[in-house]
Chains A and B, each alone.
Chain A
Amino acid sequence: MIKAGQIEKGTALLIKGQPFLCIEREFVNPGKGSAFVRLKLKSPATGQTLSETMKSQDNAEDISIEDRDFQYLYNDGENFSFMNTENYEQIEVPMKSFPDYEYLMKEGESYRVTMWEDQVLDIQIPSKVVYVVTETEDAVRGDTVQGVTKDAVLETGLKIRVPGFIKQGEKVRVNTETKEYIERVNS
């Protein structure tokens, strides 16, 4: 048990028997009132989010979670398959729990996975990742001026806008939260 005031972003809680991960936390002190926390929680099983308001002094049931490294193998359109790199055990994670992750994760790459018992609560993707540009049109002459962007498809299938000077086969660094181009990576 912990006090609701101790809950942080990333804290895992058990609510009515279901694991939830705190994704947002805000302290609220109503005028002439006790201290409260407003929480946004996400169920990794369903992707469903839940808003919960608790007094800072209320008890909440926290669960102990553990980070483990898994290699991402592939997806079959419904589940992601991962392999535990230590014991070669494979697990499946419903894709709908992690929308867009199919376009962010690279097959064969290792990811840190947050687990509670046998359940995957979170897959951690670095905030900046380098991807190879697999499809983009060559810039039209004269369009290489700064500020002009064009469509590009990355090795994972992610579609983003890149500057005109980026060529097919080059590497770009991408902000995985906003899915926006950051810079070109040489070599």
Chain B
Amino acid sequence: MYRAIRSFFDERGYLEVFTPTLSPSLIPEPTIKSFETEFINPFEERMKLYMIPSPEIFMKEMIANGSGSIYQISNCFRNSEQLGDVHNPEFSMLEYYSVGMDEVDSIKLTKELLNAIPSENENLRKPFLVTTMRDIFLEKTKIDLDEVQDEKEIRKAAESLGIHVPGNESWDDTFNRIFINNVECDISKDVPVVITDYPKQIECLAKDYTDRPYKKRWEMYIDGVEVANCYDEETDKGKIKGYYVKEYEKMEKERKGTDDVIPAVDMAFADLEMKKSSGVAIGLDRLLMTSLSLTEIRPLLSFPLSDMLTQDN
């Protein structure tokens, strides 16, 4: 599969890049926990380094510096995620950025990619079912997201479905509660499903629609498992800066006094001349898993962390 992916992008003129796994700063993402380590520089001050949760920070800098369309297969790290059937703290990620394209073009490109990789699972070859988040929510829950734009309204909607919501919960947490409970578990397992137009309340570096409260972001599910995430990348420096400030503050507030690492951020990221582009990130272990019609990634990993932990006990 890795060879097929490389040929696919090489044929289309994408440059394969290799960026660092250790970074002195990360993009602030309150929902992702980081691994932290230290560079011991003899006779100098030690320097904190973080294992990347995605190569996004470096790849975007390359785009801004005029690299053109690029792709990368790299190992990424996410801490504090519980070891489940489709989670390992170290995992393989494919990221590709297409310069000049938007998220709709990325759907087409991703369809072609799925056709080009080896698969024993017929579902990967089938036409995608593309739906907006609002439509799939309406279908599965009868809730119109347009009408539950604040915390109070979405909480009422959740409670009408029998979901208990603790006090002062944020909009996106309540949204995710409903999404996981009533929508995600019921996503078609017969064809790849692309859910577009994510709520703007879920902060990320995707562009906003100007006429509706959603972002130009999609996620793809194969056999009901989330495998890909895509943005029409934000290029507005003010908005990138705003995201950095807001999300860093949120992360600091949530993590202060806990064991969770608060990774450094580099505000200079917001000053990059980000080009019009669309980026897709695919969890490769999960893609490989679905291509073999498996339901867990363990058999694909030579050394799953869960096994190494049991050996120690």
Contact = CB atoms under 8 A, between A and B. Distances in A.
A34 B176 CA distance: 8
B158 to A, nearest CB: 10
Nearest to B33: A35
Interface core residue of B29, B31, B82, B184 (most chain A CB under 10 Å) = B82
Given A56-B82, A58-B166, A32 B177 contact: no
A180 to B, nearest CB: 21
A103 interface: no
Contacts of A33: 31, 172-173, 176, 202
A147 to B, nearest CB: 26
A28 B180 contact: yes
Q: Please tell me the size bucket of the interface on B.
A: 20 to 34
Interface string A15-41: 000000000001111111111111000
A34 B173 contact: yes
A27 B297 CA distance: 14
A5 interface: yes
Nearest to A38: B180
A90 interface: no
B75 interface: no
A60 to B, nearest CB: 11
A51 B181 contact: yes
A58 B177 CA distance: 12
Contacts of A30: 176, 179-180, 184, 226
Interface in A21-75: 26-38, 51, 53, 55-56, 58
Contacts of A31: 219, 226, 229
A33 B185 CA distance: 16
A55 B177 contact: yes
B202 A32 contact: yes
A5 B81 CA distance: 10
A40 B163 CA distance: 14
A53 B181 contact: yes
Nearest to A53: B181
Interface in B7-31: 29, 31
Contacts of A56: 82
Interface string B169-196: 0001100110111001100000000000
Contacts of B44: none
B85 interface: yes
Nearest to A16: B164
A34 B29 CA distance: 11
Nearest to A52: B181
B203 interface: yes
B87 interface: yes
A27 B180 contact: no
Interface string B126-153: 0000000000000000000000000000
Given A29-B81, A53-B163, A55-B173, A34 B31 contact: yes
B84 interface: yes
A5 B82 CA distance: 8
Interface in A57-109: 58
Contacts of B176: 30, 33-34, 36
B140 to A, nearest CB: 14
11 contacts: A26-B85, A29-B87, A30-B180, A31-B229, A32-B29, A32-B172, A32-B204, A34-B31, A34-B176, A35-B82, A58-B166
Complex A-B, nearest 5 residue pairs according to Cβ-Cβ distance, in ascending order: A27-B84, A53-B181, A33-B176, A27-B82, A53-B180
Interface of A: 5, 26-38, 51, 53, 55-56, 58
